[in-house]
Structures are given as C-alpha cells and as structure tokens.
Structure 1
Amino acid sequence: MPVLEKSLFLFLFISSFAMDTARGFEPNSQREADRVTALPGQPEVEFRHYAGYVRISDDKALFYWFFEAKRKPDEKPLILWLNGGPGCSSVAYGAAQELGPFLVRSNAPNLTLNPYSWNKVANLLFLEAPVGVGFSYTNRSSDLEEVGDRITAQDSHSFLLDWFNKFPNFKSHEFFIAGESYAGHYVPQLAELIHEGNKKASKDSYINLRGFMIGNAVLNDATDQLGMVEYAWSHAIISDELHASLRRECNSFEGAGEGKACLPAVKAFLRAFQDIDMYSIYSPVCLSSLSKSPRSNKLVAAPHLFSQHETWHGMRRATAGYDPCTEDYVKRYFNREDVQLALHANVTHLSYPYSSCSEIIRRWNDSPPTVLPILKKLMKAGLRVWVYSGDTDARVPVTSTRYSVNEMRLRQKGGERKKRWGGWRAWYYREEVAGWVVEYEEGLTLATVRGAGHQVPLFAPDRALALLSHFLGDQPLASSRFG
C-alpha cells in the first residue's frame, strides 16, 4: 500500500475509533465489518448504517439492515420493523419503500432521501425472516418446508439475541417492535417469546422490550374476513346481492359451517378486486406490470376461507404511493451485484433472484386463527400496544381491525363523553384531521390514518412519523386542531 494511501487509511480508522469512543460506544470488529460505506446511489448522510448476516444455526443466516438514529443514537430507542406476507421482505418494503432513510423511487441510479424516515426518532432495524425471504438463507432445503409462524418467531428471537451481541451498546436501549399486515402475527408472537425469555434471562440476554405497534394487522380470522366483506360493500366495490350472499352462505364468517354457495360467493368477491389495488383502493395500478406474464403463486396473507382460492394468490400487493411501479424498481435495485456487495448480501450466491416476497417458500405450516389472546396477555404484562389502520386498505380494512379489537371486550377511556358516545375521537396533525383514535384502559390504542392504504408509512409518511413519535413517547395523539 502506498504511503499516502496507508496514512489516509490510518487517519480514517483512528477518526472512526475516536467518534465511537466519544459517543460512548466501544468499537466492535463484528459490527464494523458490517458497516455500509459505498451503497450505490446513496445520498450523503451523517448517520451510520450496517447490513449483513447473523447466523442463528450452522445452516441458517438471517439478513438485516440497521440504521442509527440521525441524531444522538446513544439516547434513542431501538425499533425492529417487520413486514408480513407471510414471506415478504422488510428490506424491500419497509426499508426501501416506506420508512427507511433511503427510498427506491424510480429506475434512476440514485436513492431518494426520506424526510420522514423513522430513524429521525429512533434507531431502526430491518430483518428479513424467515429463511427464504430476501437475502436470508439456509443450507438445508428441508428448512424451507418447515417455515410457519412458530419457526419465524423462534428464529427472529435467536437473531435478536445474537444481534445484540454484535451491537452490545444497544442492549440497554428501550426496545420496540413494529410492523404491518401479517406482522400482526409476527410482532406479538415475537414479543411473547421475548417476554417469556426475559423471565429467566441473564443480564446479557435480557431484551428491554417496552411495547409494539402494528398496522393494518391480521389479528383474528373470523372478524378479519367479516370486516373485508363489510368494507367492500360500504365502499361500493361489491353489490348488495353479493354482500347478502356472503353474509348468508358463509354464516357471517363465525365458523358455524359454510353453505353450498359460500365458495362461489368468495370467488366473486375476489374477482371484484382484480382491476384495482386491493391494498389502496383509490390508487392507480402499475400498467406496465399488467402486460407481463402472470406472477407465480406467492404467499399472501389471508384468512383460510379466502386463501384457498388461486384468485387470491394472483392479486397485486400494495402499490407504492404516487408511483405504483415502485416494487419493480426495488427488485431491480436489490438484484444489482454492486448493491449486494455494498450491503454484504447474497454471500452464498443464491440460485434464485432477489424478490420482494419469497418465490421459494411454497407452504406456510402454521398460522393460528387469532392472536388476540397474546395481545391481551402482553397488555396485562404492562407492554404498550398500539394498533393503527390506513383507512383506504381493503385487504385488512379498518372494519376488520375494529371488529377484531372489539372481540377483546376492552374498556374505553373517555370520561363522561364516553358513557354516551364512546371514546372515539379525531386526532390532528398540522391542524388537519389525521385520523381517528380510541384508547383503552387495558393499555391499547387504536388509531386510523385518514386516506392511507395498507402501507401507512408509504401513503402518509408525515402522519406515520407523528404516530410513531407519540407511541414512543407514550403520549396521546393530538385532540384539537390548534393544540
């Protein structure tokens, strides 16, 4: 190495060491090996970010992307973000399209800096789980036949324990989990594992879990299905006759047995959404994708009655705000060799291309019909629980979320007004109604986000960040326009 280059290398190394020491961080060789320094198209930023693998067994490794908070990361909480599917990537969706600091917004080589990134208020960790999702991999093909809710939660928990060993300076930080869609299963199931593990944990393995927040979340099959039907009818997507047939023949989805006409009615229901985006009913669809060959039968979150139909699996997922083709741009970006090299990804040279949702997981082995008992258990244990809903989503619509939350028979806050009209009220952001909210004595907050689709941080990034800030601060959402 020439003398000048060697001197520059030493200067940068010492400067990095000094910066870590000044912030109270002990330099960690494992962590520094994962530091991302030359991501193609990345704008200049002052915060650090890291990406790479955490091995959770001899055969399995899960991929992560971690962003320090923009300011004072040593003082900020840590959030783990999970996307659902099941089988969809938190990097391809959460990080690159929704709430990460660098967004893929076109086919252009440069990334867009997100002014509403969640790392403005927290340290932000994205995980691709289970194996077979994104860059996460296994050396045993049989592992791909075993995935389901249980394995996903166990592997994610193992990942966290090992990740904290790689980033020990974050062990004492307040820790929260957030996610959307089928993460309505992932998030509380992982939180329960952490909660139970903490009861017998040593100081080194204790995780400082304080709560979780889930958006447009799959929670309870019966009420989720009923809510989908009611939302489609109330938004003029299905006819009076089809609505009546679904309610009658499917026994209002209460598990009392299905009539002969239930399955044909469900097929007709799904066909009603084929020409629009079910995940954001007022958004355009990506026309360039319509001319391509049909997509393969990917796993998409659905209650059992809907998911048994091929029509369901071919439906488009949430599109990306003002440009509905963003998912295509994201796949192209993460399939670039220079991007993978910068992110320390695809080190085993996977035999399949990167995809937003797994193309190699063919079966999901276990998915309980409800997670409501877990929510009640963790609220009773004192964890902060917020559930939010973008109100233009027809996949897990606000009607489903309200029906599901009502199943828990919680007690609303609201004082004297609540006795007559309930605790439901508007919440405000920048002097406009941002949505509606109700709080419960047991520790749950249910909020809607006005005009947002399934991916709330994508469609309403400013209000999503405001929602997060109030959640982290354990503060009620603004109750007046000028307050």
Structure 2
Amino acid sequence: MTVSHLSIRESTTSAPEVDQGRRRWFQRRVGIAGILLVAVLLAVSCGVAVLAILSHDGTSHNHPHLPSDSVEALPGWAGPLPSRMFSGYLNVTHRKHYHYIFVEQEGGPAGQAPVMLWLNGGPGCSSLDGFIYEHGPFRLDPKDPAKLVRFDFTWAKLANVIYLEGPVGVGFSYSDDETDYSKCNDDTTAEDNLAAVNLFFERYPNFRNNDFFIAGESYAGVYVPTLAEALLRAQDAGNYTGAPLRGISVGNGCIGSEVGVCSGGANRDRFEIPYLLGTAFLPEALKKRVRDGCDFEMTGPFLGDTCDKVVKEVYDTVGHVNIYNVYGKCEGSGSRQSGRQKVPLSLRGNQLGGPDACIDSSRGTAYFNLENVKAALHVKSDLSWEWDSCANPEGWSYNRTRANLPRDTYPFLLGRLRVLIYNGDWDASVPYTDNEAWTKALSMQLGLAVTQPWSPWVFGFDGQVGGYRQDYTTAVGPGAFSFATVRGGRHEVPETAPESAFQLIGDFLKSEVVRKRGGLDAGKLERLQA
C-alpha cells in the first residue's frame, strides 16, 4: 500500500487577509481594565479579535505555565472564549517538540469532566483538522474564511479535549534534528505520544484525578490502541503519572499493516468490494458475477484470477466517486486537487485512510498559516514547511511496524478498558464491513457474551436513528466493547454527522449532557414508535 504524504485536504498559496475593520473588537471589564487595555492595544496592532482570558462563567483555574500557554486572543472571533484554551509545546525529548491545543470543558466544572486526547491519522495528518473541521469549539465561516463561528456540537461540551499533533513533522510539531523526520513509525509514535501525555498531566496536575480517554480516527486506529497499550504497561511499571485511562474510541480506523482494508491488496478487496455490493453503483448482473467468482472468506494474499478480474471490473464501473464519502461530491480546488480527481477509485484506495482528497481544506490551511494565528497559538513561526492538514517536511517518512492489532493488542486492552469502535456508513476507504468483521471475530475468539445484539441506536430529543450497534460484555463490564455504525457519516464522522457523533461519544463518556438529550438505547426507539 502506498502512503501519500501530500496534503489530502487541499491547501492554497495565498491566505485571505483579515478584514481589520470588521474584526477589531474591544472588551472592557471592570476590575481588569489595566490588563485588558494592554490586550486591546496588542489586538489593534495585530488586527485580531480579543478573546476573554476568563472562562465563560468568569471563573479562573489555577494552571502552571498559564502565562505562556494560555490562549488570550484568536483572529476571527469577537467574543469571550466559551471556555479556557491553551496551546504550546510538550517537549517529549530534548529535541522533539509536540504541539498541542487544550480546550477545557464548556458549561460545567472542568475539574470534574473527563479528559479526552484526540488524534487524527494519515499517517502524517494534523489533529488540528479535528479541532477546526470536526469537533472543536469553532468552525471556519464558509462565507468568510477569516472568521470563526461557534459549533453547537463541540466535544468540549462533553470533555476537556486535547488536540495533539504528531509525530514530529506533522502540523506545528517539529524536531531540532531533521533526521527524526525519516524515523517515524508506529512504535516511536506510541512512545512519543506516551511521553506527551505524561508531560501534559505534569503541566496540568489539576486534571490527574479526572477520567481519561483516548480517541481518534483513520490511521489513529493504530495510534490510539498502541498508545493505550504503552500507557497501561507504563502504569503497571510505575512509570505513568497521569489521569487513569478508562477507555478508547476509534472511528473508521486502520488495524495494522497485515490485516484489514488499510493493508491493501486482497485484504482491501475483501472488505471494500462487499461494501460496494451494497450500493446502487453496480448493476445486478455484475454483483452476481462478483458473488459467483469471489470467496471473500478465503484468507491469504490472493483472491484468485477470476475474482481479480471481476474486482477490476467493479472498480472501473464505480468510477471516480469520492472514496471517503461515496454519496457526496468530490470538491476542492488547486492543482493537486484536480490531479487527484483523475485517479480511479481502485488506485485511491491504495492510500491509507486519511482526510478526503475530495475536500477543499484551503480555508483551514490559510487560517493556520496566518502569522497572528501562529502567534496566538504560541507555535514556531519559521518551520521549513507550511501548515496543512496532511503536509510534511521534505524527507518525512513513516514506517508501519504494527502488523495485527486485533491479534496483538486488543485482547490486552479489552481486559482493562471500555472500547468503542465506530464507522460512518458512507465511507469506502475504511468501510464498516472491515471493523464489523474483526470486532465480531475477536469477540467470538475471546468468548465474549453479546450484551445487545445488532440494533438501532437513537440520538436527539426526537429519537432519530443514528446508526446500528452491537455490544459485548468484557471483564470491564456489560457493553464495555461496542461496534457502532453512524448513519450518513463519512470517513470523518464528527464533521459529517455531528449531532449523532456528539451523542455516540457522549454516551461512551457517560456524559450528563447527552443523558439530558436522550440516551442511545434501542429500547427508546421502540417506545417512541409505539
């Protein structure tokens, strides 16, 4: 499988300028006039909007490193922060510097809410993609890309959320030794991520007693469980000093270099072709030839000449659909985007799961490359590469060193943690057929009882069907291992199905916020339909 290190969300060469006349905003508050006056004067000189240093409720939390990491202003937002925000670097070694953004929970005491670490995948894609496009407190205004707008279904209403960019050479994370950019792999990434987590809780010790969760999507299907494994083993050895890890969540995730759709070849076809058979993209006659000519239960690196021939016909027939959002448009702009659109589905499927080539991310690229944004986030401004969702410095490479996570890692995790695996059902890059298969097979292998058989789950006050799920009982408890689909979600579920994703994750975190909105139990749907 070929790993692409080009930007997958499309970049642009010119950043839109902030309209200073519309962005200047002055906030006056009795009792802090002197401090605020300095902030206002700085904002006028930089042309940015001033964000309140206090939380939405006016409370202040005692954090070490507050002066250097506290986000006091962001361009494009004219109002107080919904909650405290921090941004800076965690020096995981003497030369590796991981950038993070930390958003405290909105609407409640942050000291009591869980802490969630969010990781995007790639490998080589920035977790700020999750911050600005998926579930951060703001999104970019589609009518004015220099302006931020509030996002109703931010996961910051459910938890204190950390967005960590890694490994080095991704986003604003960097190394003082450029040779590190060619040495990234699954194991070094897990080690560095663990060091970053330990450093985070050293910097924010007030959160050490909170429940801790790790979540991510796409190639973070490798990052998340390998970090969880490293953390638990470090804890057992007395080398972990952070908050207690309670669970992990992975959306549309890869599972190793030798298994699952992300390993490519016949393994990809075993799950992608059955997914496509369930769509209207193929005539019934071709579907019949696939069923007659292919045995997708057969293991090994080959499916046979007859099957290979009909599989090629399937890809040729499907054509240039958006592999990460099969029912959506292939949108974007720029030379790289137009080139990617000409690549057939069968070849684009060789790329690892990451943000879609058919999504125009020029707005995010422009925003994070504004000098005043970089200053507000306290990041290094003279990196040798431009920030982009999935762009890396020259010479950057990644070696996949974890072969089979369902075999090697998940049995250990299931004995200690709650685990949620979910898939958007509009994604053909890492289709639900892949993750449904391995979760079911592993549960049978481990002899796990089915807590709740395949059934709909609902979200919102009116009980809309959010998708389908099956829950298993583990040593952690009933329903501690779950596989769920998200109806209408594509590869990046929180971006395309935000309300249902909010409910799904909130239920996983056992959040009071979603309990007030209505639970996810299938029985609720039956009661509503009665």
* TM class by smaller structure: 0.7 to 0.9
Q: Kindly, what percent of the aligned residue pairs are identical?
A: 29
Q: Is the counterpart of residue 8 in structure 1 residue 30 in structure 2?
A: no
Q: Name the counterpart of 1:375.
A: 410
Q: Which runs of 5+ in 2 are unaligned?
A: 1-29, 40-51, 262-267, 475-479
1:234 to 271, 278, 284: 278
Secondary structure of the 1:340 match is helix
2:458 to 428, 431, 442: 428
Aligned-partner Cα distance in 2 for 1:17–1:35: 8
CA shift digits 1:107-127 (9 cap, x unpaired): 432112111000101101000
Aligned-partner Cα distance in 2 for 1:269–1:363: 32
Aligned-partner Cα distance in 2 for 1:353–1:115: 30
CA shift digits 1:61-103 (9 cap, x unpaired): 0111110001211111100001111111111x21010010011
Q: Name the counterpart of 2:175.
A: 138
Distance 1:262 1:344, change over 3 A: farther
Secondary structure of the 2:362 match is helix
Aligned-partner Cα distance in 1 for 2:145–2:54: 36
Q: Which amino acid aligns with 1:41?
A: G
Q: Name the counterpart of 1:169.
A: 206
Whether contact under 8 Å (1:227, 1:400) holds in the other structure is yes
Map 1:320-331; keep pairs closer than 5 Å.
Answer: 324-325=359-360, 327-331=361-365
Distance 1:431 1:413, change over 3 A: same
Secondary structure of the 2:86 match is strand
Whether contact under 8 Å (1:43, 1:112) holds in the other structure is no
* Aligned pairs, number: 451
Distance 1:283 1:376, change over 3 A: same
Q: Name the counterpart of 1:54.
A: 90
Distance 1:134 1:437, change over 3 A: same
Q: Is the counterpart of residue 353 in structure 1 residue 366 in structure 2?
A: no
Whether contact under 8 Å (2:122, 2:355) holds in the other structure is no
In the superposition, the TM-score normalised over structure 2's length comes to 0.76
Aligned-partner Cα distance in 2 for 1:214–1:287: 27
Aligned-partner Cα distance in 1 for 2:55–2:338: 51
- Structure 1 residue 201 displacement after superposition: 2.0
> Which of 116-125 and 402-411 deviates more?
402-411
Whether contact under 8 Å (2:53, 2:84) holds in the other structure is no
Q: Name the counterpart of 1:447.
A: 484
Secondary structure of the 2:196 match is helix
Aligned-partner Cα distance in 2 for 1:457–1:159: 25
Q: Is the counterpart of residue 338 in structure 1 residue 376 in structure 2?
A: no
Q: Which amino acid aligns with 2:66?
A: R
Q: Name the counterpart of 2:327.
A: 282
- Structure 1 residue 10 displacement after superposition: 9.1
- Structure 1 residue 46 displacement after superposition: 3.6
Q: Which runs of 5+ in 1 are unaligned?
A: 297-301
- Structure 1 residue 197 displacement after superposition: 0.6
Aligned-partner Cα distance in 1 for 2:54–2:100: 26
Map 1:164-313; keep pairs closer than 5 Å.
Answer: 164-201=201-238, 205-219=241-255, 221-224=258-261, 225=268, 226-237=270-281, 241=286, 254-257=299-302, 259=304, 275-286=320-331, 288-289=333-334, 294=339, 312-313=350-351
Q: Name the counterpart of 1:69.
A: 105
Aligned-partner Cα distance in 2 for 1:85–1:243: 35
Whether contact under 8 Å (1:388, 1:448) holds in the other structure is yes
- Structure 1 residue 426 displacement after superposition: 0.9
In the superposition, the TM-score normalised over structure 1's length comes to 0.83
Whether contact under 8 Å (2:253, 2:353) holds in the other structure is no
1:458 to 495, 498, 508: 495
Distance 1:404 1:11, change over 3 A: same
Q: Name the counterpart of 1:398.
A: 432
> Which of 448-457 and 354-363 deviates more?
354-363
Aligned-partner Cα distance in 2 for 1:468–1:24: 27
- Structure 1 residue 181 displacement after superposition: 1.0
Whether contact under 8 Å (2:121, 2:353) holds in the other structure is no
Secondary structure of the 2:145 match is coil
- Structure 1 residue 244 displacement after superposition: 5.4
Please give the root-mean-square deviation of Cα atoms over the aligned residues, in Å. Answer: 3.6
